[in-house]
Structure formats: C-alpha cells, structure tokens
Amino acid sequence: MDKFSAQVITVSDRSAAGERPDASGPALVGFLTDKGYRVVGSRIVPDDRPAIEAALREAVAVDVALVVTTGGTGFSPRDVTPEATAAVCERMVPGIPEAMRAASMGITPKACLSREVAGIAGRTLVVNLPGSPKAAVENLSAVIDVLPHGIGILRGERLDG
C-alpha cells in the first residue's frame, strides 16, 4: 500500500495575519511524516467559516486521503472549525473525537470542553484537533494507529487485518 496523502490546515486568526508563528501545523506535519503519511501541504486560514470550508473543499477536490485541522475548536465565538467541518462532510465519524477526548481526559479534565469532530467528505477523512501543538499531537496519537484501516476502506483499498 502506498503512503496515504495528508494535509494540515491551521485555523488561527493571529497566524493567518502573521502576528504569531504557526507551531501546531509544523508539529503535525512532522508527526504525520514520522507515521508514514505523505504530507502534500499545509496552510493557515483565519477563524472564518467560509475560509475553513473552502480550504477543506480544496483538499477534498484534489483527493487528499486525510486532512487534519488544528485550532478553532474551543468556546470562543470565532471557534467555528467543527461547524465548517460538519458543513463539508457527508458523514460524521463520532468515534474518532470520542477516542481523542477519552485519551485526553487522562491528561487534563478540560478535555471534556473540546469540540472537535471528524467526518468523511468524498474519499477524504477530516479530523479536527486542538490548537496547541502539544494537545494536537496528543489527540492525534490516540487514533493514529487505526486511521489507516478506516482510510483504506474509505478509499477502496484492500487491507490485511
């Protein structure tokens, strides 16, 4: 099986405006690369629902296997990544964020405030992650080993196991 393609989308007003360097995007690119994914791009968009939806639709249009977003999943009025993700996805995958939150609760009780979602758009799996580099990698670590199985099924590839 070839490496699955992946794209990282950082959602941050300050990083998009050049006011703060993006730390989460590069951390996720490194993590995904280490796990065998072929990262085909990373980008930064503001906390703006149309911009987030457009970035997700562009990744789906070029048939990226996995898109992970980082940021925009909290309680701030501008945190709209889950809503943008749900608008783009045809089917939701609630078990992924449930597993991430369960793992995170062992690290911090604030994990129950996390609003991340995951879903399927075409042949692309989209997974929201928190905005901090540490939390983003910790959350993705909780599910990374099972993602290839789901992505393989989604993309019609025969998998053993």
pLDDT tens digits for range 88-109:
999 999 999 999 999 999 999 9
| pLDDT on residue 17 | 97
- Confirm whether 80 is domain-assigned: yes
The token pair that represents 61 in the structure block: 């249009």
* Domain range for 91: 5-154
Report the distance separating Cα 58 and Cα 141, nearest Å: 25
- Give residue 157's pLDDT band: very low, low, confident or very high (50, 70, 90): confident
Kindly tell me if the per-residue pLDDT of 56 is higher than 80.
Answer: yes
Output the CA–CA distances (angstroms, integers) from residue 139 to 120, 142, 159, in the order listed: 18, 5, 25
Q: Does 30 reside within a domain?
A: yes
What is the CATH classification number for the domain harbouring 48?
Answer: 3.40.980.10
Confidence of residue 159 (pLDDT cuts 50, 70, 90): low
- Examine residue 159 and state whether it is found in any structural domain, yes or no: no
Q: How far apart are CA 126 and CA 76, in angstroms?
A: 21
The overall average pLDDT reported for the chain is 96
In this structure, are residues 58 and 15 in contact, taking their beta carbons and an 8 Å threshold?
no
Tell me what pLDDT residue 1 has: 41
In whole angstroms, give the CA distance from residue 27 to residue 13. Answer: 18
Distance, CA of 148 to CA of 126 (rounded, Å): 13
* Number of compact structural domains in the chain: 1
Per-residue pLDDT tens for 2-46? 699 999 999 999 999 999 999 999 999 999 999 999 999 999 999
Q: Quick one: pLDDT at residue 70? A: 98
Cβ-in-10-Å burial (0-12, 13-18, 19+) of 21 comes to exposed
* In a domain? residue 102: yes
Share of the chain above pLDDT 70, in %: 96
Answer whether residue 70 is part of any domain: yes
What's residue 2's pLDDT? 60
Count Cβ atoms below 10 Å from residue 77 Cβ, excluding itself. 6
